[in-house]
Copies of this chain bind each other. A is one copy, B any other.
Amino acid sequence: MDSHLRPLTVLGSSLSKNVLVKVKWNREYRGTLDGYDQHMNLVIKNAEEVIGDKSTGVLPLVVVRGDVVVYISPSEVI
* Residues of A in contact with B (beta carbons under 8 Å apart): 1-2, 4-11, 15-16, 20, 23, 27, 33-37, 40-43, 45, 59-78
Contact partner of A63 (CB less than 8 A), chosen from B59, B64, B68, B72, is: B72
Inter-chain contacts of A61 with B (CB < 8 A): 10, 73-74, 76-78
User: Which of A8, A15, A35, A63 neighbours the largest number of chain B CB atoms within 10 Å of its CB?
Assistant: A63
Do residues B2 and A45 form an inter-chain contact, with CB atoms below 8 A? Answer: no
Inter-chain contacts of A6 with B (CB < 8 A): 35-37, 43
Do residues A62 and B67 form an inter-chain contact, with CB atoms below 8 A? Answer: no
Taking CB as reference atom, which chain B residue is nearest A64? B71
Do residues A40 and B41 form an inter-chain contact, with CB atoms below 8 A? Answer: yes
